[in-house]
Amino acid sequence: MTLWLIFGSMTAAAVLAVVWPFGRRRQSERGGDDLLVYKDQLREIDSDRAAGLIGEAEAEAARLEVSRRLLAAADGPPPQGVAEASASATLRRRRAAVLAVLVILPAGPLSLYLALGSPNIPAQPALARAKTVSGNASIASLVSQVEAHLATNPNDGAGWEVVAPVYMRLGRFDDAVEARRKALTLNGTTATRESDFGEALVAAANGVVTAEAKAAFERAVARDSQEPKARYFLGVAAEQDGKAEDAASIWKSLLADAPLGAPWAEVVRAALERATAASSTAAGPTAADVAEAAQLSDAQRVEMIQGMVARLANLLREDGSDVEGWLRLVRAYTVLGERNKAKDAAADAKRALADRPDDVKRIDDLVRGLGLEG
């Protein structure tokens, strides 16, 4: 309010300085009695000529001189009474004009601002306006702003936590992994953060639960035994290791603990059905195989795994109706880094399951999830 009063006073002072001279009364420079004097002189000349006191030539010269003065006086200011009345009327008109200027000049812009402006909205600094994002700003521009902020504020744990899920939605999985890692380091370990970190690692590995991801899920469950995301992915890890029964057990327990209407329950239910329907022949290594693998070197263990994968491939060539076997074979080749063999296995599976479109769709979904397209 004080600011409005200051601006109003400044405007009024500026206007008054301009219009003040127009409101002053101007004094007459000459009186109006000269006209009467000159008229009397003309009458006296006529009287003197009639009385013979002056000649006709002298009377005519006198008349000319008095007439000249009379015309000059007629061009001057009016008589005092008339002049004062005229001056008063003029002064009133000027003062009215001054008053109109003083009122209309400030009121005009003010009315226009009240009608079209936003006087009730607090002022916003230029920097704040620059940071305001319009409704049609793209996600990419928002991410760029956050990244610019994090570049100068790398220890902003909240910023890393905000941008990580956006990276996941944009398919920037490697960036999501680093963002989740920084959020864990800066904000501290929780079951949710560990699960989110493990999920990012799985996405970056094309759907494979790596050792680092599995460790993150295990830390999450250690902190909160009910953490659903970690429990689900531990089931996926068991399935990818060929332990369908373990995976089914994990998912059954997860569904039993699921709250009513849990959005992820349907996904877990589908996984459970997949694990339950898995072929015991293609289920993976037996207990004896596991015991044997524990005694082997890393190179021997890899060779053993490759042998089991080869046996699974041979079984599927003999009987290609086992969609779960095909899914495991494609994942196994991907884990071993043999992407071309994984693509070939997927193509073989689609040919073998051509008359079962739902199973073919599962193969296609896995191929997309593992990034094997193209």
Q: What is the mean pLDDT of residues 328-343?
A: 85
144 domain residue, yes or no: no
Highest mean pLDDT: which range of 122-131, 214-223, 232-241, 324-333:
214-223
Q: Among residues 279, 194, 183, which one has the least CA distance to residue 230?
A: 194
Q: C-alpha distances in angstroms, 173 versus 178, 214, 227, 330?
A: 9, 17, 22, 21
Is the distance from CB of 8 to CB of 106 less than 8 angstroms? yes
Question: Which of the four pLDDT bands, split at 50, 70 and 90, describes residue 148?
Answer: very high
85 token code pair: 């009345």
pLDDT in tens, 251-292: 999 999 999 889 999 999 988 888 777 644 444 455 555 555
Q: Domain end: 116, 133, 151, which one?
A: 116
C-alpha to C-alpha distance for 190 and 108, rounded to whole angstroms: 62
Higher-pLDDT residue of 138 and 348 is 348
345 domain residue, yes or no: yes
Q: What pLDDT was estimated at residue 90?
A: 59
Q: What is the CA radius of gyration of the chain?
A: 51
Q: What pLDDT was estimated at residue 229?
A: 96
280 domain residue, yes or no: no
Range of the domain at 358: 287-369
Per the prediction, the chain carries an average pLDDT of 75
pLDDT in tens, 64-103: 676 666 666 555 555 454 445 555 655 566 666 656 655 5
43 domain residue, yes or no: yes
Domain count, the chain: 2
350 domain residue, yes or no: yes
Q: What is the mean pLDDT of residues 324-333?
A: 86
pLDDT in tens, 150-168: 999 999 999 999 999 999 9
Is the distance from CB of 316 to CB of 352 less than 8 angstroms? yes
Provide, rounded to the nearest whole percent, the portion of the chain with pLDDT above 90: 29
Q: C-alpha distances in angstroms, 22 versus 83, 87, 92, 224?
A: 18, 12, 11, 87
29 domain residue, yes or no: yes
Q: What is the mean pLDDT of residues 308-336?
A: 85
Q: Domain end: 67, 100, 116, which one?
A: 116
Q: Among residues 163, 191, 195, which one has the least CA distance to residue 179?
A: 163
Q: What pLDDT was estimated at residue 92?
A: 66
Q: Domain end: 58, 87, 116, which one?
A: 116
76 domain residue, yes or no: yes
265 domain residue, yes or no: no
CATH at residue 298: 1.25.40
Q: What is the mean pLDDT of residues 286-301?
A: 60
Higher-pLDDT residue of 139 and 345 is 345
pLDDT at position 200 over 90: yes
pTM: 0.45
The amino acid that residue 80 corresponds to is Q
C-alpha to C-alpha distance for 223 and 75, rounded to whole angstroms: 110
The amino acid that residue 146 corresponds to is V
